Structure 1
Amino acid sequence: MKKGRVLFASLSGSVIEWYDFYLYGTATGLVFSTLYFPSQDPGIGLLLAFATFGVGYAARPIGSIIFGHFGDKIGRKSALMFTLIGMGLSSFLIGLLPTYEQIGFLAPLMLVVLRLIQGISLGGEWGGAVLLATEYAPKGLRGLYGSVPQLGVPIGLVLGTMSLTIISYLTTEAQFLAWGWRVPFLFSVVLIGLALWIRSGVEETPAFKQHKESGELAKLPFAETFKNNWKSVLHAIGLKLGDGFFNVFLMSFVLSYSTVYLGYSNQVALTALTIGCATMVLTIPFVGYLSDFIGRKTIYIAGLLLMILLAVPYFSLMAKDALWLYLMQGIMLGIIWASIFATQGTLFSELFPAKVRYTGLSFGYQVAAAIVGFGPMIWTTMAESFGPSPWVFGSFMIAALLLSLVLSFFAPDTRKSSLYDDYPDGLGNFNSSAMHNKKIGE
C-alpha cells in the first residue's frame, strides 16, 4: 500500500467531515439563530442556536465509544466508512430542513437530531483518521504522518466558511436566507461520495491486521481501556481541555464575537478566520515533522505557555481594527494553536496499545471536546453581562490553559516511550519493540 494514498485517504475524509461540522458552526450565527430560533431578543436566539452547536460536541463521546468499539474489533477502515456516511447524510438533510416559520417547533427539534448525528459521526472520525496515518507511519516519522489528518480541520473550515461566503456574495440577503445557505449543505453529499470512493481503496492498517491475526483483539475495548489505560484517558482529556476552549473560540465563536460585540462586518470576520486557517495549513505539517526530532511534549508545553502569555493581548488588540484582528488570528490560531494541534493526534495515540487505541484516543479527545463545545453558550452570557472585556475573556482562557499546562508536565515524552509497535517501513513488517513493554498509563 503506497503511503501517499493512505495519507490522502486520511486527509480527504477528515477534510470533508470537518467541512460539514464547521459549516454548521458558521451557519449557526449567520442563519440558524434567525430561521430556527426566532426571538425578539437577538441574544436569546443566538444563545439557543449555539446550544445546538454544543449538542454536536456533546454527542462526540458517544461516537467515540460506538466507532471506537468497531474500529478496535472490526477495523479502522470499516469504522471510517460509516462515519463518512453518517456525517454526509445528516448534513444533506440539514440542507433540506424546513424552517421554524414553515413547521414550527419541529424545525429546531429536527435540527438538533441531525446535529447529534453529525457529532456522533465526527466522534468516530477523528481518531480513526489519525490511526490510518500513524499506524502506517515509518519509524521516526509518526509525528509528521499524524499531523496530516489534522490538516482536515483548517481546510474543512475554510471550505465551509468560504462556501457560505461565496454564496452570500452571489445572492441578496433575502435570497441567502431563503435558499442560498442550503447549497453548501446539499453539496456535501457529493464530497462524501468522493471520500468513500477514495477510502474504499485503502487496506487495513498494519497494526490492526497484526493484532487480529495474533488473536489479541479486545473483547470489550471500552471496558478494557478503563481497566488498563484509565490514566491515559484522563491525560488526554486534561491535555485537550485548555487549548480546546481557545480553539472553539478561535475557529467558531470569533465570528459572532467580532460581528455582534466588536462591530466588524461578516466579511471581515470570515477573512480573519480564513487567514488563521490558511496559516495553519503551513504550520501543522512543519511542526508535526519537527516533533519527531524535539518531541511532542516540548512543543505542547511551549504552545500552552505562549497562549497563556498572549490571551489578554489577543482580546485587547483584536478590538482595535481589522488589521489587528487579522494579525492576531494569524498568530494565535495559525501558528501557536496550530503547533499544539499538530502534535495532538500522534501524542494521544501513543498513549494507548493497538488493541484499544481507537477507543482510548477517541474517547479522551472527544470528552474534552464535549466540554469545550459549550464554550459559546458561556461566552454569549459573559458578553451580555460584561461586554467584550479582554480581561474577562482572557482570564477565562488562562484558567483553562493552566490546567492543561500543569498536566502536560506530568505527561510522558511519547517520542521516547510509546505503546506503538515498531513498523520500520510503515507497511506492516512487524518487529516486537521493547517500547511495547513500557506501560504508559497503567
Structure 2
Amino acid sequence: MSLVTLAIPFFLVSVLVELALDRWRNWGLYRLNDAIGSLGAGIMSRISGLVRSGVGLLIYLPAYELLTPYYQAVGFNWTAANPWHLLLAVVAYDFCYYWKHRFAHEINLLWADHLVHHQSEDYNLTTALRQPSGGLPIGWIFYLPLLLIGLPAELMITAGAIDLIYQFWVHTQKFPKVRWIEWIFVTPSNHRVHHAQNRVYVDRNYGGVFIIWDRLFGSYQEELEQEPCIYGVRKPLRSFDPLAANLQHYRRMALDAWYTKSWREKLTLWFRRTGYRPADAEEAMPEPSCDLGDFRRFDPQIGCGQRLYALAQHLCYSGATLALLWYARDMAYGEQLLAVGLLAFGLISNGRILDGHRLARHWELARLGLLLAVAPILPFALSAALAGYALASGLAWLWLAFSGKEDTVASVSD
C-alpha cells in the first residue's frame, strides 16, 4: 500500500480538526457543498488510479535497466535506507515537479487536467485533496531527467509520495507568514498565492516542497496584505460534480475545435498557451471571465434534509473507498472496475444533488436501483449490507426529494 493511501486517515482527521476550529472560531472557511465537492474529486482521483495503468513506470523501468551499466560505471548507488539519499531524491523530484507544474499552467492540454485542483472557491485542507482523475498520461515525461542521476523507480515513487503528502498542510488560511521559511519552503502563505485568481497572483509559486525554484526561475510572488486572495478559476466550474470538474476544460477546448473553421486551429489549440481560443470560436461562443470586483462564490441553496443526505452519502463513499483501497490487491480487475464504476456514479449523483440539479432526484433513484440490481451477484454478507443500504437510502431520498416536505430554492440546471 502506498504512503499516500496510508496518509489518508491522517488527512481526514486533520480536515475534521480544522473544520471543528472553523465552527468554534467562526472563521467561515468551510461550506458543506464545496468541501464535499473537493473531497469527491479526491475520491474519484484515488479510485480511478486503481483501473488505469501507470504509463510512466512502463517506460521508466526499462530505461533504468538499459542504463544500469552506466550507473555502475559512474558509481550511482541510491538507497532509501540512507536519509541523505532520500533527501536528495526529494529535492531532485521537486525540481522536476516544479517544471511539470509550471507547464501544467501554461499549456491548454495540461491545464485541462490540473485545473481540477484549482476549481474550489474556498481554501482549506479539503482543497489539498481535490485532485484530477487522470487526463492525458504525459506527466511522467517531466521525471525522465531523474534517469540521468540513476534514481531507482522505488525511490522516485517514495520521493513523489513525500512531495505530495507535504503539500497537504499548506492548504490552509490560518497559518501566518514565517519569514525565513518563506525563502526556502512552500508555505501556506505562498501557496495561497498560487491558488488565487487575482491578476497579480495568477501563475505564480509552482514549487511542491521548495519555493527556491520559483525564486530562481522568476515565478515567485509574495502574498500581499493589501491584496486578499480570491480563490478559484477565472472561468468557474459552477458544479460540485467531480465528472464535470474533470471534463470542464476538455469540453471547452472540444467546442472551440468544433466552432473554429481553421483546421490549423482545430489541431493546435490543444497545445497553445492556457486560455488561448480561436477568434471565430470565441465570437461564436463567448465566455466572459469572472468579475473579481463583484465575485460571488457558487453556492446553490438546497433543503437542509438534502444537504444532510448528501453528507451521509459522502461518508458512506469515503468508507467504501478506504475499504476498496485496502483490499484492492485481493480483487480481480473486473471486480475493481465494478466497484470504481459504482462509486463514481455515486460521487457524480451526490455532486448533482448539491448543485440543486433538476434531474438529481431521478439520478439518485437510478443509482440506488443499480445497487439493488448488482447486490445478488456479490457474496452474501456484502450483498445483504449493500441491499440494506440501498433500501434505507431510497426511502430517505423518496421522502426528501418527492414528498414536498422540503422547500428547495435556487435550483441550478444545465
**Would the TM-score normalized by the shorter structure come out above 0.5?**
no
The structure number with the bigger radius of gyration is 2
Query: TM-score normalized by structure 1?
Result: 0.29
Query: TM-score normalized by structure 2?
Result: 0.30
Pick 1 or 2: higher relative contact order, CA cutoff 8 A, min separation 6. Answer: 1
